[in-house]
Amino acid sequence: MSGCHSKVKEHKDEVYSRHLQKHISLTVVSTPVPKEKRDFNLLLLNDGQDIEKLGIKNIVDSLNRKKLIQPLVVVAINAFDRIQEYGVAGNSDYQGNGASAEKYSNFIVNELLPFIKKQSGVRKFNSITFAGCALGGLSAFDIAWDHADKIDKVGVFSGLLGISDKDTNDPSYSDEKDRIIINKIRSSRKRPHLKYWFYAGGNEETTDRDKDGVIDVVDDTKDLIELIKKKNVCPPEDIVYTEIKEGKGDYDSWRRVFPQFIIWAVGK
């Protein structure tokens, strides 16, 4: 995981997970090695198999050449069974999806982070950020919330934050009671010292459960942000919300805002 003194490097790696009982493929992008390795920052990304669609290497290289970011190592984690592994730990949805989310969380915290530190020779990163898109965004948020002693910042792009334990077509469904992550955060006694970055596009979908004229992905994201604010776990300025009216929930839209996110996470 060492860089070069002249430009951003990318290579593949692999780690075996006892929790998941499989080998997990990784793509590693790193800026040149600083004089002090502890100056490196770490960015973990869900859905690492799509790292090229996000244009991560080009974005990091451009920001690094412009001297806009601190030393950075990006570790993109290839999804193996994202429907089961990405979700809210200990809380499957009404279809049984997300059943392995707790195992995935344990993999990230107890296996992947120690592996990265060993491979990179960095005993303690300057900061650790975890990010993901769609279902991967829900996963990143949930893991960061539960493990804020190891993760400092979280990025959620078009997060599927409306995942519920009841079918939304069920007459008894309620946004207030049945959204899994909202219920978890509302009842959580944790006071995690995290910084948060959210993106939602105004043109992602047409579904509008509560018929208020605002699409669900925007409503769900804003509801989660308001809940975090009410819990008073961080100063308001530690929560960034980016909404692009014409934005969609796709890699073209995410790629456009990703430079802003990286500068937020590790900017000079």
Residues 247-262 have pLDDT tens digits of: 999 999 999 999 999 9
pLDDT score, position 164: 97
Over residues 167-191, the pLDDT tens digits come to: 999 999 999 999 999 999 999 998 8
Phi/psi region, residue 55 (left: phi>0; alpha: psi -120 to 50; beta: rest), is left
Q: Which domains does the chain have, with CATH numbers?
A: 9-266 (3.40.50.1820)
Q: Give the mean model confidence (pLDDT) for residues 32-50.
A: 97
Please, what is the angle between helix 216-231 and helix 180-187, to 10°?
A: 10
- Using pLDDT thresholds of 50, 70 and 90, give the confidence band for residue 6: low
pLDDT higher than 50, residue 124: yes
Cross-strand bridge partners of residue 151:
none
3-state secondary structure of 153: strand
Residues of the chain above pLDDT 90, percent: 94
- Measured in degrees and rounded to the nearest 5, phi and psi for residue 41 equal -105, 155
What does the block give as tokens for 119? 């491979």
Among the listed residues 165, 104, 142, the one whose alpha carbon sits nearest the alpha carbon of residue 224: 142
- Using pLDDT thresholds of 50, 70 and 90, give the confidence band for residue 208: confident
pLDDT score, position 1: 46
Among the listed residues 247, 268, 164, the one whose alpha carbon sits nearest the alpha carbon of residue 198: 247
Q: How far is CA 112 from CA 28, 46, 74, in A?
A: 13, 12, 13
- Measured in degrees and rounded to the nearest 5, phi and psi for residue 87 equal 170, -155
**Confidence (pTM):** 0.95
